[in-house]
Amino acid sequence: LPTNSGLSDTIISDMISNYLVLPNRITVPLVSEVQIAQLRFPVPKGVLRIHFIEAQDLQGKDTYLKGLVKGKSDPYGIIRVGNQIFQSKVIKENLSPKWNEVYEALVYEHPGQELEIELFDEDPDKDDFLGSLMIDLIEVEKERLLDEWFTLDEVPKGKLHLRLEWLTLMPNASNLDKVLTDIRADKDQANDGLSSALLILYLDSARNLPSGKKISSNPNPVVQMSVGHTAQESKIRYKTNEPVWEENFTFFIHNPKRQDLEVEVRDEQHQCSLGNLKVPLSQLLTSEDMTLNQRFQLSNSGPNSTIKMKIALWVLHLEKRERPPDHQHSAQVKRPSVSKEGRKTSVKSHMSGSPGPGGSNTAPSTPVIGGSDKPGVEEKAQPPEAGPQGLHDLGRSSSSLLASPGHISAKEPTPSIASDISLPIATQELRQRLRQLENGTTLGQSPLGQIQLTIRHSSQRNKLIVVVHACRNLIAFSEDGSDPYVRMYLLPDKRRSGRRKTHVSKKTLNPVFDQSFDFSVSLPEVQRRTLDVAVKNSGGFLSKDKGLLGKVLVALASEELAKGWTQWYDLTEDGTRPQVMT
């Protein structure tokens, strides 16, 4: 039957996801000092609170009169963190929907893990894609709080407003009152609202359970646990009154001062209760390390019926960092961000004095052909000219580009012959233009300007991620300035399908692109390749104003490629290191 087939596909997909996606397997070094308790009682690295607020300028996917009339969309979002999936409500006929929903997700292994968001237009047959976003959780952990407008990837337009909070797990109740005040934990709303704490429960075993309805047979015990409106259930153990479960459970707690953990052991075969237990969470607040690890006597059960559990409470604390007024947040893969005044500054220049935990305040010294003479040193960007594309990307956060799929040209197996043939001529024309600019004067260290790139390899996605941030101090191609765009190849592949291009930024010498691209390639392979980056001027059809503005070749044989770096590179005529003009 079609209904059963769809249900089966969903169940199978969920089962596969639970095996393949973090954090279902936690790697612990197998040394003698490691205790079994650490394996049985894993504690998350943190909790990610996602405020899914609103979107703007989405695409209208609903059409009328066979596509002649553009309509609106019925947008909703799918949010993924590891194997945790959330879906927002659908906003009908709105291109600027406001959801104002909040989700909380456990994060066990944040290196390499990302927040993934996809927007769709709900349709009766097949939902249409409205854009996506991928944010590295290392970025959120370092910043603690990100409240940003993110530009959606893989679509021509659309922005998404998110507020992301990284909550640290505290093993004591010293900050609980402040947390309860911050989340407005009212007395009449003990089970609703944002979470102030996390309850971790390890269900070990039970002893001396009664036999249920039939004295002669052993029960099939299962444990049902609930806190407020949230309920969870253990696996069934068959034909035993001494069951062993060894399972972990977690509960988000709104107000531990007013909530209880309710536990009931039931016989699955005869659908009857074998005993129950209520533990006030306030009891944990006064316990050592807010933990109870013991056998609990079951009520409404046998005289010696007990259940063994370890339960621990952790307060969720949002650590607020002191930042200067002009602070721009850092990222594992950094890119420029725009301040409220519209001023473009280098993210890394603000962070050079205080790198994030485990991070470095300089870019790696990577083999670069045509790169800056000071690799690893991040400089402050000059204010760009305000163009249409720059305004379009105002407010776009760096984290929206951390691992976002690139805008890939149509896959065609034919090489880009025109690009290969035109390069020598373009280089000669650019050298001639440089001589005209010199005209008896001494040009600076970077006469053709610079380009800022973020480069890293994602082992999880098996892709090279390149973020083209911006250019500065480009030469004017005509009296009207330049209309620059960036073209990239991963050499030696120069086929049209391997080409990546940014949008065109009109009439500016300091264009802002902030676009992410990827190349499917393994780490050992990419370290034998070279990234060919060219800044070109875009003219109209059959225009004579098309031409090369500068080029850089980046060798990717760096050991730091897996970590990634952001750097300004000097543009030259042919990608080699700049030479003194004579």
Query: Taking the domains of the chain in order of start, what are their residue ranges?
Result: 2-170, 176-318, 337-570
Q: Which residue has the tokens 């098309």?
A: 546
* Virtual torsion, Cα 295, 299, 303, 307, nearest 10 deg: -20
Please list, in sequence order, all residues whose beta carbon lies within 8 angstroms of the beta carbon of residue 236, skipping any fewer than 6 positions away: 220, 221, 222, 268
Cα-based angle 566, 572, 578 (whole degrees, multiple of 5): 95
**How far from chain centre, in Å, is Cα 345?**
22
- Nearest-angstrom CA–CA distance, 331 and 135: 10
Using alpha carbons, list the distances in angstroms from residue 105 to 23, 73, 115, 327: 11, 28, 10, 27
- Nearest-angstrom CA–CA distance, 60 and 93: 9
For domain 337-570, the question of CATH label 1.10.3720.10 is answered with no
Q: Do domains 2-170 and 176-318 have the same CATH topology?
A: yes
- Start-to-end CA distance of the chain, whole Å, equals 79
Q: What is the 3-state secondary structure (H, E, C) of 371-418?
A: CCCCCCCCCCCCCCCCCHHHHHCCCECHHHHCCCCCCECCCCCCECHH
Per-residue pLDDT of the chain (582 residues; tens, 9 = 90+): 555 665 677 777 777 766 665 555 555 555 544 556 666 788 999 999 999 999 999 988 876 655 555 678 899 999 999 889 999 999 999 999 999 999 999 998 777 778 999 999 998 888 889 999 999 888 899 889 999 999 998 888 999 999 999 999 999 999 899 999 988 876 555 556 899 999 999 999 999 999 876 667 889 999 999 998 889 999 999 999 999 999 999 999 999 999 999 999 999 888 899 999 999 999 999 999 999 999 999 999 989 999 999 999 999 999 876 665 555 554 333 333 333 333 222 222 233 232 333 333 333 333 444 333 333 333 333 333 333 333 233 233 333 333 333 333 333 333 443 343 344 555 556 666 665 555 555 456 678 889 999 998 887 778 899 999 999 888 887 777 888 899 999 988 888 778 898 888 888 888 898 888 988 888 888 888 899 999 988 865 444 556 788 889 998 988 888 888 889 998 888 767 533 332
Please list, in sequence order, all residues whose beta carbon lies within 8 angstroms of the beta carbon of residue 409, skipping any fewer than 6 positions away: 496, 497, 499, 500, 501
- Nearest-angstrom CA–CA distance, 451 and 550: 9
Using alpha carbons, list the distances in angstroms from residue 149 to 412, 449, 550: 35, 29, 32
According to CATH, the topology of domain 2-170 is Immunoglobulin-like (2.60.40)
What stretches of 171-318 adopt beta strand conformation (E)? 197-207, 221-227, 230-233, 244-253, 260-267, 272-280, 291-297, 306-318
Contact 39, 29 (CB under 8 A): no
DSSP H helical ranges for 439-537? 523-526
- Nearest-angstrom CA–CA distance, 386 and 363: 28
pTM beyond 0.75: no
- Domain boundaries 176-318, CATH class: mainly beta
In sequence order, the β-bridge partners of residue 23 are none
